[in-house]
Amino acid sequence: MSRQGRGWCPFADQIEGITSFDSGFVDRVGWCDHTASGYYSTLTSPDFWNNEGLSVHFAIALDGRIAQLLNIFDTAYSQGLDANGNDVNQSSPNVTYKPFAAMNYGNPNGYLISTEHEDRQVTNLVWPEAMYQADLRVKRWCVEECKTQNLNALRFNIDSLAGHYMFDPVNRAYCPGNNWPRERLYNDLVGEPLMIRKNGVANPTFWHGRTLGGRQTMNAAFDFNLPPNTKAFRLEVLMTNGNLTVYDGAGNYAGQTRSGYGMIDVYPKDGWITLDGTGVINILGIVGYWI
Ligand SMILES: [Zn+2]
């Protein structure tokens, strides 16, 4: 089997040998995300899937590794059962997937791209940043790949992002879990690119080529290399155009700057802040911080 061209992700590790799926080109209207209750090593084992009679298109590891198991235009067996164990259909109980009627109450295996996420059996896992970025990269690729087939993977806006629990709220109530970053993913998928450089210099760990969506939540300790107990810090920024607004971890307004030079004091509640902006900004540096 040649894994190049339509539907094959060029930056994923290709895992061949899955037999439990339906082949054939089908429409794609979005994704269904899962949490694996297990390990990446299992998710990349064809025997595991074939023995279970299940499959997914992608598996993503906590450290950001990406595996592709099926072509995105083939049908995986991953979210097709309802709370009663029957194929999802119009009489399935308590389906909360909003576009369900628009999709004629069809089985969601037939129109969603499914991704398993390693969780090492942690319920409600908070995705590590590496996993988040890998998942976002895959979804961005899916959007572009679908465009080449005149398909729109974002046609239902944020409802293009489904979770397994929407089809089976009983047996899959915690799939993909309460910390599934649905809004962040959506904002990053539709947001304008926002490039950040630290001191105007590429930094291999974060700043170089980092594209933010229109709104992006960041961890101060991870993204800015600040101590985890930082209460506030001052960003020195230079905007070539556009504008930047910063919110604290509770979503409260924390500062804003427009074209030109500015300082923003940022209060990273619980260690998190959100940057929301357009255009190109240069973060000249962290002027200082308080702990
Ligand atoms: Zn699931």
Residue 175 CA, ligand 1 centroid: distance in Å: 5
User: Tens digit of pLDDT for each residue in 166-197?
Assistant: 999 999 999 999 999 998 898 888 864 444 44
Strands 244-248 and 272-277: antiparallel
Whether 66 shows a pLDDT value over 70: the answer reads: yes
Taking the complete model, does pTM exceed 0.85, yes or no? no
Helix axis angle, 129-148 to 182-190, nearest 10°? 50
The Cα 127–Cα 130 span in angstroms is 8
Residue 36 CA, ligand 1 centroid: distance in Å: 7
Residue 223: strand, helix, or coil: helix
Residue 115 CA, ligand 1 centroid: distance in Å: 9
Whether 276 shows a pLDDT value over 80: the answer reads: no
Q: What's the average model confidence in pLDDT over 218-246?
A: 74
Report every protein residue that has its C-beta within 5 angstroms of ion ligand 1.
Answer: 34, 164, 175
The Cα 243–Cα 63 span in angstroms is 33
In degrees rounded to 5, what are phi and psi of residue 283?
-85, 110
Residue 161 CA, ligand 1 centroid: distance in Å: 13
Domains assigned to the chain: 13-189 (3.40.80.10), 192-290 (no CATH)
Whether 202 shows a pLDDT value over 50: the answer reads: no
User: Tens digit of pLDDT for each residue in 38-55?
Assistant: 999 999 999 999 999 999
